[in-house]
Amino acid sequence: MSKVTVKDLDVKGKHVIVRVDFNVPHKGDVITDDNRVRAALPTINYLTENGAKVLLLSHMGKVKTEEDKAKNDMAIVAKRLQELQSAPVTFVPATRGEELEAAVKAQEDGTIVLMQNTRYEKGESKNDPELGAYWASLGDLFVEDAFGSVHRAHASTVGIATHLPSALGFLVEKEVNVLGKALNDPERPLVAILGGAKVSDKIAVIENLLKIADKVMIGGGMSYTFSAAKGGKIGTSLLEADKIELANKFMEEGGDKLILPVDTVAANDFSNPTEIITVKAGEIPDGFMGLDIGPETVALYQKELAGAKTVFWNGPMGVFEDERFAKGTIAVCETLANLEGATTIIGGGDSASAAKNLGFAEKFSHISTGGGASLEYMEGKDLPGISIIPEKE
């Protein structure tokens, strides 16, 4: 797949609408992690340096009430954006109307207007045709650079692109190239590590990766449904009883390719345990719940990862927010960070947080900026925000 990119557009003197992902974590007016703003800078800087008039659109948080609106006001991002680059930034606290139109009309080449949170508009998430057409009327060109939102057919990701010449920004282009190669033309062996709480969250990706990966390793809360499917005792561990049949199907189809935990760290309480034990998989006593993979599983996974040339990781191995149950996730993270000669990809979400918090982010080949989008990509799904961008001729 070779999509039109921002470099294929003639942007000088043009109004370029860019869908970015400025959905940053924040406490009040303080942004606690500005990585998403920084990730958008290559595309923004390219456009301003080449004389474009840039209009940035992004959502932030969920907006259902007036309180949500106040909490997710994009003004805090405008301030940070101005600190991170040199082009003038004007923040418009509106999503349509005279104030926004006047600000765009008054723009000079090489300047930026950041619009208010797109989710202030109810039609955004419904891909309202009128809203998409209105936003498109503010620009000459559209650039999609919000990978974290391309799996959603919203007015700002798909609606605008139906009306304007469109292209991928550098961030989305990189995601498509890295994930596309891992999915369609990986250097082998290709190993996938999938963790997290529920099988139901990962059904399609497990199904697809079992077809294309050389090994698929399972960890986290969802491993206990597999353990139960094998007839094991899982105590009070997380169980999706309605997915036992599916787990059996995966084990049958996966055979030796599907690798499951062989031991687990369990506790007698989730929040305030008085007893923490390590037991064989499928031998968790009554009243105990599995909260991390055990040391034998860590050793097994390290052995299976030796020699891997492409690794995709999504989802922690346990309740890594609690240091007592973080050893499995830390071990996987360290192993991947030091895996020489391999392309190591983190599919966003909690795995990305773990790598950053542990100080290993720089050692990974690629950390996706969109957990949901990267998973859907690895499922082999079409992502509407990418599909709408034309192929190069």
Q: Is residue 198 annotated as part of the catalytic site, yes or no?
A: yes
Q: Choose, from 3, 19, 36, 243, the residue flagged as catalytic.
A: 36
Asked whether residue 135 falls in the same domain as residue 282, the answer is no
Cα separation values, 121 from 33, 59, 131, 132, Å: 25, 10, 8, 11
Looking at the domain assignment, is residue 249 inside a domain? yes
pLDDT tens digit string along 154-176?
999 999 999 999 999 999 999 99
Asked whether residue 236 falls in the same domain as residue 347, the answer is yes
Contact 219, 332 (CB under 8 A): yes
Dihedral over Cα of 198, 329, 355, 343: its sign:
negative
How far is residue 191's CA from residue 210's CA, in Å, rounded to a whole number? Answer: 10
pLDDT tens digit string along 287-309?
999 999 999 999 999 999 999 99
The torsion angles phi and psi of 390, rounded to 5 degrees, stand at -70, 155
Element (H, E) at 31: strand 30-31
Tell me: pLDDT of 318 over 70.
yes
Q: Choose, from 110, 196, 370, 372, the residue flagged as catalytic.
A: 372
Q: Which residue has the tokens 């208010």?
A: 116
Q: Is residue 324 annotated as part of the catalytic site, yes or no?
A: no
Q: Choose, from 169, 349, 371, 385, the residue flagged as catalytic.
A: 349
Looking at the domain assignment, is residue 178 inside a domain? no
Looking at the domain assignment, is residue 312 inside a domain? yes
Please give the tally of structural domains in the chain. 2
Q: Give the three-state DSSP class for 26.
A: strand
Give the pLDDT band (50/70/90) at residue 1.
low
Structural domain span for residue 30: 6-171
How far is residue 147's CA from residue 125's CA, in Å, rounded to a whole number? Answer: 16
Q: Is residue 38 annotated as part of the catalytic site, yes or no?
A: no
Which of 216, 214, 207 lies closest to 186, judged by CA?
A: 214
pLDDT tens digit string along 183-226?
999 999 999 999 998 889 899 999 999 999 999 999 999 999 99
Looking at the domain assignment, is residue 345 inside a domain? yes
Asked whether residue 38 falls in the same domain as residue 132, the answer is yes
Looking at the domain assignment, is residue 236 inside a domain? yes
Q: What is the CATH number of the domain that holds 338?
A: 3.40.50.1260
How far is residue 334's CA from residue 358's CA, in Å, rounded to a whole number? Answer: 9
Asked whether residue 324 falls in the same domain as residue 210, the answer is yes
Q: At which of 171, 196, 228 does a domain end?
A: 171
Q: Is residue 372 annotated as part of the catalytic site, yes or no?
A: yes
Q: At which of 136, 171, 206 does a domain end?
A: 171
Asked whether residue 29 falls in the same domain as residue 74, the answer is yes
Q: Choose, from 71, 174, 198, 381, the residue flagged as catalytic.
A: 198
Asked whether residue 216 falls in the same domain as residue 343, the answer is yes
Asked whether residue 316 falls in the same domain as residue 207, the answer is yes
Q: Provide the pLDDT for residue 317.
A: 96
Looking at the domain assignment, is residue 180 inside a domain? no
Asked whether residue 206 falls in the same domain as residue 84, the answer is no
